[in-house]
Amino acid sequence: MDFLAHHILSVVLFTPLVGALLLLFVPRERDAVHRIVGNLFGALGFLVSLPLLRWFKPGWGGFQFEETADWIPSIGAKYHLGIDGISLLLVMLTTFLGMIAILSSWSAIKLRQKEYYILLLLLQVGMIGVFVSLDFFLFYVFWEVMLVPMYFLIGVWGSDRRLYAAIKFFLYTLAGSVVMLLAILALYFYAPVEPGATRTFDIPTLLAAAQTFTDPLKVWLFWGFFFAFAIKVPMFPFHTWLPDAHTEAPTAGSVILAGVLLKMGTYGFIRFSLPLLPADTAMRAKIIHIVIFLSLVGIIYGAIVCLMQKDMKRLIAYSSVSHLGFCTLGIFALNPNGLAGSVLQQINHGISTGALFLIVGVLYERRHTRLISEFGGLATPMPNFAAIYLIVSLSSLGMPLLNGFIGEFTILQGAFQVSKAWAAWGSLGVVLGAAYLLWLYQRVMFGPVTQFANEELPDLNLREYATLVPLVILAFWIGIYPKPFFALIDKPVQEIVHRVNPDFYKAEHANLAAPELQASRVQVK
C-alpha cells in the first residue's frame, strides 16, 4: 500500500504496459484469452487510477503525487511525474475511456486480436504518459510513442481507406510534434542555468524560466508549440486529418482518438502555450486574436461542414472540430471561467463524442456501413438504443442538465468577459450544433424503416449497455452536479491565470460599489 501511495502515478502509467507484455506471451490462437486479458487490464487500469481521486488534495497548489528518478543525467532529462487537477481529470478520462474502448471491441474485432489489445494498451500508456509527465523529454517521448499504436489501429483494423488515413494521421501529427521538439529544445537551451550545472528538462522549472525570456523569443516558442498542439487539437486549418482518421479508425480507435488524443493538444495549450505568451500587451493581443479567430472559425466551420456529411463518423469527426474550437476559445479567454470551462468541456467532449462513436460502432457492427442514407427509422426496431442515442446527442449539443452545456456555458461566460463578440460567434456554434446533431438523429432514427436490412436489427445487448450507460451516467452527473469537477480544477486554473494573466486579478478598481457585490467578492490569495 505504501508503495502504491508513493508510486501511484507509475502504477497507473505502467499497468496497461504490464497487460501488453503479458499478452505478448499468450499464444496467437487463444483469442478468448486475449480478449479477457485485454479487458482485464483495461478495467484494472481504471481501477488503479481511482485512488488518485481519493488521495488528491484539490486545495493544494502545484503538482501532487510527484515522482522523480534520474534518467539521462547528462542532459538533465528525468523520469519526473506529477499531476495537478487538470491532468488528474484527463488521466481519469483516459483510463475510463480506455476501459470502455477496450470493452467495446469485444465482438467488433475479430482479426488479429492479440495485436489489437496490445496496441490499445500501449496507446493507453502513451496517453497517460503525456498527461503525467513533468519532464519535457519524457513528455515528448510519450507524445510520439502514442502515434505508433494509433497508426496501426487505424491501419490494420480500419475500414476501406485505412492506409491513407493512418499515414495521414501520422504525418500530420508528426509534423506538428517535430516543430514542438524544436521549441522544447529552444526552451531547454535558453533557460538560464547556473554555470557548471546541467540544463534541465523539468517542466515547472522551464516554464518558470520562460517568464524571463524576451518577448520575441517567447513568441517564437509560442508558435512552435502552437503548431504542434493546433494540429493535435485540431484547430481550423490543420483539421483535415481528423475526419479521415476518425472515419477509418475502428470504433475503439475513434473513441480514444476523439476522447483523449485530441485533448493532448488542448492540454498542451493550457500547460505549455499559455506561459509562453509574451508580456507585451500588444503582441499578446495579436496572438490571442489570431488563435481566437481560428477557434471561432473552427467552431462555425466544423458545424457547417457537418451539415453536408453523408457518413456518420465523418459528421461526428467534424463536430469534434467544432467542439474543440470551444475548448481553445475558452483557453485563450485567459480567465478562470474560460479555462475551467475548457477543461471541463474537454472531459465532456471525451464523454459525449466517445459515446457517439460507440453508437456508430453499434450500428456499424450490425450493418457494416456508416452511411446515413443506409439507415432511417431505427427507433422502431431499437427503442432503447434510440433513447441512449438521443441523450448522447443532447449531451453533445449542449442541452442543460447534461454535461455539454456546463462546459459550453462556462466557456462562453469566460469568452464573454473578454469580448462579447467572441461569445456571440461562439453561440452561433451552439445553434448549429443542434441543427446537425438533430438532423443526423432524425435521418437515422426517425421515419419508417426504409431498408429491409434494418427491420430486424437487435437492440443493444448487455455489453453495449455496459459501454454506453457509464458514459450516460457521467454525462448526467457533470450536467447536474459539476461542482466536484470544478473544485478539482479550480486551483490549477487560478494558478495559471495568476501566472499568465495577472491583470485579471489586478483590475479590481471599484466603480460599481454595491455592498452586496462586495460581500460576494471572491477572496483571492
Q: Is 229 in the site for another protein (CB under 8 A)?
A: no
Q: Is 309 in the site for another protein (CB under 8 A)?
A: yes
Q: Interhelix angle for 483-500 vs 336-367, to 10°?
A: 130
Q: Which of 22, 193, 283, 435 binds another protein (CB under 8 A)?
A: 435
| d(C-alpha 164, C-alpha 154), whole Å | 9
Q: Which of residues 506-525 bind another protein (CB under 8 A)?
A: 507-517, 519-522, 524
Please name every residue paired with 67 in a beta bridge, in sequence order, or none if there are none.
Answer: 81
Please say whether the beta carbons of 277 and 218 come within 8 A. Answer: yes
Q: Is 140 in the site for another protein (CB under 8 A)?
A: yes
Tell me how many residues contact another protein (CB under 8 A).
113
C-alpha distances in Å from residue 257, one per residue of 33, 323, 349, 361? 26, 14, 11, 14
Contact mark string toward another protein, 182..221, x via CB under 8 A: x--xx-xx------------------------------x-
| d(C-alpha 385, C-alpha 464), whole Å | 10
| d(C-alpha 83, C-alpha 203), whole Å | 12
Q: Least separation, in Å, of the C-beta of 346 and another protein?
A: 14
C-alpha distances in Å from residue 283, one per residue of 249, 333, 478, 500? 40, 15, 37, 14
Nearer to another protein, 282 or 520 (CB): 520
Q: Which of residues 7-66 bind another protein (CB under 8 A)?
A: none
Q: What is the DSSP letter of 371?
A: B
Element containing residue 426 per DSSP (H, E): helix 420-445
Nearer to another protein, 301 or 357 (CB): 301
Q: Least separation, in Å, of the C-beta of 417 and another protein?
A: 5
Q: Least separation, in Å, of the C-beta of 143 and another protein?
A: 8
Q: Which of residues 145-184 bind another protein (CB under 8 A)?
A: 145, 147-148, 151-152, 155-156, 162-164, 166-168, 170-172, 174-175, 178-179, 181-182
Q: Least separation, in Å, of the C-beta of 158 and another protein?
A: 9
Q: Which residue has the cell 460576494?
A: 520
Please say whether the beta carbons of 15 and 37 come within 8 A. Answer: no
Locate all alpha helices (DSSP H) within 146-161, ordered by sequence. Answer: 147-157
Q: Least separation, in Å, of the C-beta of 9 and another protein?
A: 18
Q: Which of residues 273-302 bind another protein (CB under 8 A)?
A: 301
Locate all alpha helices (DSSP H) within 158-240, ordered by sequence. Answer: 162-190, 203-210, 215-232
Nearer to another protein, 106 or 441 (CB): 441
Q: Is 308 in the site for another protein (CB under 8 A)?
A: yes
How deeply is 51 buried, as exposed, middle or buried, from its count of CB atoms within 10 A (0-12, 13-18, 19+)?
middle
| d(C-alpha 356, C-alpha 363), whole Å | 11
User: Which amino acid is located at 165 in the chain?
Assistant: A
Q: Which of residues 330-369 bind another protein (CB under 8 A)?
A: 335-337, 340-341
Nearer to another protein, 42 or 341 (CB): 341
How deeply is 511 buried, as exposed, middle or buried, from its count of CB atoms within 10 A (0-12, 13-18, 19+)?
exposed
Q: Least separation, in Å, of the C-beta of 284 and another protein?
A: 17
Q: Least separation, in Å, of the C-beta of 97 and another protein?
A: 24
Nearer to another protein, 63 or 140 (CB): 140
Q: Which residue has the cell 456554434?
A: 429
Q: Least separation, in Å, of the C-beta of 51 and another protein?
A: 25
Contact mark string toward another protein, 96..135, x via CB under 8 A: ----------------------------------------
- Identify which of 127, 18, 10 has the alpha carbon closest to the alpha carbon of residue 80: 10
- The distance in angstroms from the start CA to the end CA of the chain is 35
Q: Which of residues 441-480 bind another protein (CB under 8 A)?
A: 442, 445-448, 480
Q: Least separation, in Å, of the C-beta of 133 and another protein?
A: 12
- Alpha-carbon Rg for the chain, nearest whole angstrom, is 22
Q: Which of 304, 372, 453, 466 binds another protein (CB under 8 A)?
A: 304
| d(C-alpha 453, C-alpha 449), whole Å | 9
| d(C-alpha 318, C-alpha 207), whole Å | 33
Contact mark string toward another protein, 387..426, x via CB under 8 A: x------x----xxx---xx--xx-xxx-xx--x--xx--
Q: Which of 45, 85, 278, 377 binds another protein (CB under 8 A)?
A: 377
Nearer to another protein, 113 or 335 (CB): 335
Backbone angles phi, psi at 212, to 5 degrees: -90, -5
Nearer to another protein, 99 or 284 (CB): 284
Q: Is 236 in the site for another protein (CB under 8 A)?
A: no
Nearer to another protein, 281 or 520 (CB): 520
∠ CA 77-81-84, nearest 5°, is 130
Nearer to another protein, 49 or 284 (CB): 284
Nearer to another protein, 254 or 494 (CB): 494
Nearer to another protein, 207 or 343 (CB): 343
Q: Which of residues 485-504 bind another protein (CB under 8 A)?
A: 486-487, 490, 493-494, 504
Q: Interhelix angle for 136-145 vs 147-157, to 10°?
A: 10
Nearer to another protein, 46 or 486 (CB): 486
Give Cβ neighbours of residue 219 (< 8 Å, ≥ 6 apart).
278, 283, 287
